[in-house]
Amino acid sequence: MSDEVIIRQLVGLDQTITIFPLYSQVSRLSEAVVCQRLAAMFAEGNYRCIAAYIDKRMVGASGFWTGTQLWCGKYIEADNVVVDNAMRSRASAAR
């Protein structure tokens, strides 16, 4: 198994819903509800999602919001960061 992590943006609802198996490790929401909520989030126009892969297997994902606020200007806010259960202790075991 390679240790190389590839991170890519998931574009649109069809790609983003591929996070469901990973997300279901930490949530009991149905796939239909997740899909509905993602669609609503995308409709707001400032939501994106990225996923981390090792050997073409999704091992992590995070949504993020972008915006501008008076006090800080442009910002990015991570949202719903999920790491595959099998990978969570892997990094700490390598130290």
The pLDDT score that the predictor gives to residue 37 is 96
Q: How far is CA 44 from CA 35, 54, 82, in A?
A: 15, 31, 22
> In whole angstroms, what is the distance from residue 51 CA to residue 59 CA?
8
Per-position pLDDT tens, the chain of length 95: 678 999 999 999 999 999 999 999 999 999 999 999 999 999 999 999 999 999 999 999 999 999 999 999 999 999 999 999 998 877 554 54
> In whole angstroms, what is the distance from residue 62 CA to residue 74 CA?
19
